[in-house]
Structure 1
Amino acid sequence: MTKTILTLVLLLSGYFLHGQDSYNVQLPTVSYEKLIKAPASADENPGLPSPVVSDGSREFILFKTAANKYACLDVTVENGEPFDYKLGLSGKGNQLKADSEDFPHFAETGIHTTEELANAKTITGLSVAKITVDARPWGSSGVGFVAGDETIMSVIWADNQTVEKLGLTHPDMARPLFHFWNAIHYQEKYNAEQEPDSSLQLVSFFYNGKELQFRVQGSRGWQESIFNDEILGTGHLEIWRELTPLEQRFLDEKYKHLTGEQMERLKKELSYLHTGEMVLFYINRYGFYEGHNEYRVDPVTVASLFGLKSINELHQAANGDLYGYFIAHFTENPE
């Protein structure tokens, strides 16, 4: 199928595939022969950049295992086999889909325009008013997808402004999260086919010079999507890292007016996230990161955690007040 015909089919179906043109962050390339591809491993860190692109368009990140060895995993963001807890399907799911029917500019470029958001009355056939009711606490879930004083559009609009200020796109934000999720998918699939003593146990990974720790836990049942889509959630994903000495010094200097408790919260916001797998798909499909609740994936947190932007660039994007940025709810709607 040619690209033109494929594009037409996707547009008619209400979806478009975010492609390489939607990324503002370009990954370094490495010769395929230099990669230590899992399940093979090395005793020492090979010193390769991570993430990287190799073998044409395949994406890899470097992991450390519980045996203190190093391995590169293919974590390419792509549309794979269906991902559906109800049906017991554990494929990658549709990781590149973007909602082109409601947000054509977003689907094409990876960023919304204010006009596009201001004119949105429905998303996936549901009114934005209904989605907001379902998204608030005790709507379709106890915690909710937005805070009680936020709307679905106020949250999408505010986060879109932040991503644009950072010079990034929503696919840029979703990609490192999908890289992590795809590695966990690989580990589970590999271990299901091996004897217990041959299992692959990943404990940390490297991203833009940072070593990140993580924890993944399941839960009983699943959470339904607030949109008219197939996205479901059941997992708890935690990712964190230590702030570098340079980042610590910057915060101690620029934010010395904060109390000790406030400083601890700011540092945690910049170095830790807790979410579920639903948000990864929401970001790429709609530019939705959830509102102010415990599952929110803040764009500034993503940019900090994965080293997409420096601490000074994040400070500037927050107009010199990162603490105020993190605690403020999004109550203004696009006009």
Structure 2
Amino acid sequence: MQTRKCLYLLPLCGVFWVILGASSGAESLQWKNKSYDLYPAVYDHLPELPSPLATGDGKEFVIALTNKNQYAIYPVHWQKDEQQKQQTVSDTADFPTLARTGNHSKAELRYIKTITGRPLDEITRLARPGQLSTSGFLGANEDIMSILKADNYIVRKLGISHFELAKPLFHVLNMMDIDLDLNHWNMAHHAWEHVVGLYSHGNRVRVEAHDTKGGQQSIFNDGIEGAFWIIIERKLDQREERYLRKKYSSLTQEQFITLQKKLSSVMTSEMEPQYIMRYGFYEGHTDWRTDPIALTFIFGLKSV
């Protein structure tokens, strides 16, 4: 039997949870009087844990599905200085209300002239298709401020914050980072083949990630770069599909399939959660748009 020592003991919703450090360096999570070994341990059956699970000291855990149909409990809170810098920074200089509350002030958006010291028209130009990116960060007829304003309106109507929408994307990135450190990444195929999905608020979410040669530059003067692309999606359940078919009964089958795809799938990169966290920017209407409505649906933050 392994000797364990208690690292943390905090009350959470009337239930005590414990993170235990084994003498081997592995960690375990105790939840409702049951102990669970954390990844790289795997399980043949789905652990009886909430996913995501947030603990009282800022730690977070997500259950993943591996390519061998096994389950693993990943710690998904930031654990490195670089992760902290990327995942907790907001643009306080340009958007103090966003940094303080998680959503933009309409007044601040109305009067903003630059972001990260870069003029808005220059950001819009760099974001156009064929500039820094072939497909662009904005559509050919879009501008940065119209997208920021429109998406801030959507997020407020959803009753959620930009920070809450960035968090599950950071969870995915932190899972990827753990597997990169463990060499659980197929470098020959440039793919994260070890994990094929995760569980979020009762939903099974499919995840597919690939690495590239890197070098994607940011439209803002922030030093953010991109080297990975990620597909995140989940299927509608029967209740959701019935609801949407009834609500949008005038759509043709082809139009309904398009709606379904836009609602349940996003293609994104590691740049996007930082853009959301810092600026409330989800990109314009391109193939890379990380739509806030889709994020709430896919990760189960809101239901249809």
- TM-score, normalised to structure 2, is 0.84
| TM superposition shift of 1:219 | 2.0
Asked if structure 2 preserves the Cα contact closer than 8 Å seen for 1:30 and 1:54, the reply is no
Determine the C-alpha separation between the residues in 2 that align with 1:216 and 1:105. 33
Runs of 4+ that moved beyond 6 A? 27-30
Q: Distance in 2 between matches of 1:275 and 1:203?
A: 16
What residue is the counterpart of 1:264 in the other structure? 257
Task: Say whether 1:227 aligns with 2:226.
Answer: no
Is the CA contact 2:63–2:74 (under 8 Å) kept in the aligned structure 1? Answer: yes
User: Which region of structure 1 is more displaced relative to structure 2, 229-238 or 199-208?
Assistant: 199-208
Percent of aligned positions with the same letter in both sequences?
39
Tell me whether 1:215 sits opposite 2:208 in the alignment: yes
Letter in 2 for 1:167: G
Secondary structure of 2:245's counterpart equals helix
What corresponds to 1:117 in structure 2? Answer: 109
CA distance in 1, matches of 2:16, 2:71: 16
| Residue in structure 2 matching 1:106, options 91, 98, 104 | 98
Q: Residues 28 and 49 of structure 1 are in contact (CA less than 8 Å); yes or no, is this contact kept in structure 2?
A: no
Q: For residues 30 and 127 of structure 1, do their structure 2 counterparts lie closer, same or farther at Cα, with a shift above 3 Å needed?
A: farther
CA drift of 1:28 comes to 11
Q: Does 1:136 align with 2:128?
A: yes
| Runs of at least 5 residues in structure 1 that lack an aligned partner in the other structure | 1-26, 83-90, 194-198, 312-335
The one-character-per-residue Cα deviations of 1:12-70 (angstroms, maximum 9, x if unpaired) are xxxxxxxxxxxxxxx99872313431111222112211001136220000012223221
Where does the alignment leave 5 or more consecutive residues of structure 2 unmatched? 1-12, 18-28, 186-191
Q: Whole-Å Cα distance in 2 between the matches of residues 251 and 30 of structure 1?
A: 40
Aligned to 1:17: none
Amino acid across the alignment from 2:280: G
In structure 1, what is the Cα distance between the partners aligned to 2:46 and 2:67? 14
2:147 paired with 1:155: yes
RMSD value, Cα = 2.2
Are the aligned partners of 2:136 and 2:286 in contact in 1 as well (CA < 8 Å)? yes
SS of equivalent residue, structure 2 residue 81: coil
Bigger shift: residues 35-44 or 302-311: 35-44
Q: Which has the higher contact order (CA 8 A, sep 6+)?
A: 1
Answering whether residue 284 of structure 2 is matched by residue 287 of structure 1, we say: no
Structure 2 counterpart of 1:127 = 119
Distance 1:302 1:45, change over 3 A: same
| 1:69 paired residue number | 70
- The CA deviation string for residues 104-139 of structure 1, in whole angstroms up to 9 with x for no partner, is 111111100110101100101111111111111122
Cα 1:28–1:225 shift into 2, 3 Å:
farther
Task: Name the CA distance, whole Å, in 2 between partners of 1:94 and 1:177.
Answer: 12
Match of 1:246 among 239, 247, 254: 239
Count matched residues. Answer: 271
> Does structure 1 retain, via aligned residues, the 8 Å contact 2:234–2:265?
yes
The 1-side partners of 2:16 and 2:52 are apart by 10
1:289–1:28 distance in 2 versus 1, CA, 3 Å: farther
More helix by share: 1
Q: Is the 8 A contact 2:87 2:274 kept in 1?
A: yes
Matched, 1:277 2:270: yes
Alignment match, 1:81: 81
3-state SS, counterpart of residue 56 of structure 1: coil
Equivalence for 1:54: 55
Match of 1:33 among 30, 33, 42: 30
- The 1:217–1:30 alpha-carbon spacing in structure 2 relative to 1, beyond 3 Å, is farther
Give the TM-score, by structure 1 length. 0.77
Residues 60 and 74 of structure 1 are in contact (CA less than 8 Å); yes or no, is this contact kept in structure 2?
Answer: yes
Measured after TM superposition, the shift of residue 145 of structure 1 is 0.6
**Going by fraction, where is strand more abundant, 1 or 2?**
2
- 1:224-255: CA deviation from partner (whole Å, max 9, x where unpaired): 10111111012110011111111010011111
Distance 1:79 1:137, change over 3 A: farther
Q: Say whether the 8 Å CA contact 1:274–1:294 is kept in structure 2.
A: yes
Question: What CA distance in whole angstroms lies between the structure 2 residues aligned with 1:187 and 1:141?
Answer: 28
User: Residue 30 of structure 1 contacts residue 53 of structure 1 at CA under 8 Å; is this kept in 2?
Assistant: no
Q: For the residues of structure 2 that align with 1:248 and 1:186, how far apart are their CA atoms?
A: 35
